[in-house]
């Protein structure tokens, strides 16, 4: 994964939550853009959890980005 790919998800409007999959099997959710920041070098990102804990993520260890679906499909009422 590249920094450009993760920035596209981060900058998307409207923002859609996504998950970052790591080489060691961890999955880190990004629920809101304010919960994530980029290192100036672009090599790592910092993701905060709602409880205040945080993850430093080295971009070289990211294996996949999982986008959450837009939501449930709604069906109109038959009339």
Sign of dihedral through CA atoms 33, 34, 40, 45?
A: negative
pLDDT over 60 at 79, yes or no:
no
What's the CA angle centered on 70, arms 56 and 58, to 5 degrees? 15
**Position 21 confidence tier, pLDDT thresholds 50, 70, 90:** very high
- 33-65 pLDDT, tens digit per residue, is 999 999 999 899 999 999 999 999 999 999 999
- The predicted model scores a pTM of 0.81
| Domains defined for the chain, CATH in brackets | 3-64 (2.30.30.100)
- Are 18 and 65 a contacting pair, CB within 8 Å? yes
């Amino acid at each position: 994964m590249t920094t450009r790919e993760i920035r596209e998800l981060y900058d998307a409007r409207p923002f859609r939550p996504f998950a970052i999959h790591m080489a060691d099997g961890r999955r880190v959710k990004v629920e809101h853009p304010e919960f994530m920041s980029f290192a100036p070098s672009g090599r790592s990102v910092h993701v905060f959890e709602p409880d205040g804990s945080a993850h430093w993520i080295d971009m070289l260890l990211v294996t996949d980005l999982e986008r959450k679906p837009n939501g449930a499909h709604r069906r109109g009422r038959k009339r």
